Amino acid sequence: MTKETTGLGTGLGTGLESGLDTGVEGSGDISVVDVGGTRLRRGIWSAERGVRDLVDGPSPSVRTHPGLPVRELRSRMVDALCAAVAPGASRAGVSFGAALDHRTGTVYASAPLWGAHAEPFDLLGALRAARPEVAWHLVNDVTAALLHAAAAPRRRTLRKLLLVTVSTGIACRTLDLRTGTVPVDDCGLQGEIGHLPAAIPATPVPTATPGAPAPDAVPAPLLPAKLRPVCDCGEPGHVAAYASGPGIRRLAGLMRARDGERWAASALGRAGEEAGFEGALREALDAGDATAEALLAAATEPLAAVLRTALCLDPELDEIVLTGGVVYGLGDHVRRALLTHLTRTGLYLTADRSPDWAARRVTASRPGEADPLIGAGIAAGGGLSGWWGREGGGAGSVVGRHMGGSHMGGPHMAGSHMGGPHMGGPHTADPHTADPHTGGPHTAGCPTDDGSPAVPAHATPGTTGPLPAGAPR
pLDDT per residue as tens digits for the range 445-473: 333 444 443 333 222 222 322 222 222 22
Q: Give dist(CA 167, CA 183) in Å, integer.
A: 23
Q: Give dist(CA 33, CA 412) in Å, integer.
A: 13
Q: Which residues pair with 137 in a beta bridge?
A: 93
Question: Which strands form 39-46's sheet, in the order they lie side by side?
Answer: 50-58, 39-46, 30-35, 91-96, 135-140
User: What was the pLDDT predicted at 363?
Assistant: 97
pLDDT in tens, 399-424: 223 333 333 333 334 434 454 433 43
Average pLDDT, the chain: 75
Q: Which residue has the higher pLDDT, 432 or 325?
A: 325
User: What was the pLDDT predicted at 40?
Assistant: 95
pLDDT in tens, 228-256: 788 888 888 999 999 999 999 999 998 99
Question: 193-201+218-364 — its CATH code?
Answer: 3.30.420.40
Using 50, 70 and 90 to split pLDDT, how confident is the model at 86?
confident
* Residue 434 clears pLDDT 50, i.e. is over it: no
Task: Compute the average pLDDT of residues 247-276.
Answer: 89
Domain ranges of the chain: 193-201+218-364
* Residue 69 clears pLDDT 90, i.e. is over it: yes
The pTM of the whole model exceeds 0.85: no
Provide φ and ψ at 442, rounded to 5°.
-65, 150
pLDDT in tens, 98-140: 988 877 889 998 888 998 888 999 999 999 999 999 999 998 9
* Residue 442 clears pLDDT 90, i.e. is over it: no
Are the CB atoms for 139 and 379 separated by under 8 Å?
A: yes
User: 3-state class of 43 per DSSP?
Assistant: strand
pLDDT in tens, 285-309: 999 999 999 999 999 999 999 999 9
Provide φ and ψ at 344, rounded to 5°.
-65, -45
User: What was the pLDDT predicted at 131?
Assistant: 97
User: What was the pLDDT predicted at 385?
Assistant: 58
User: What was the pLDDT predicted at 398?
Assistant: 26
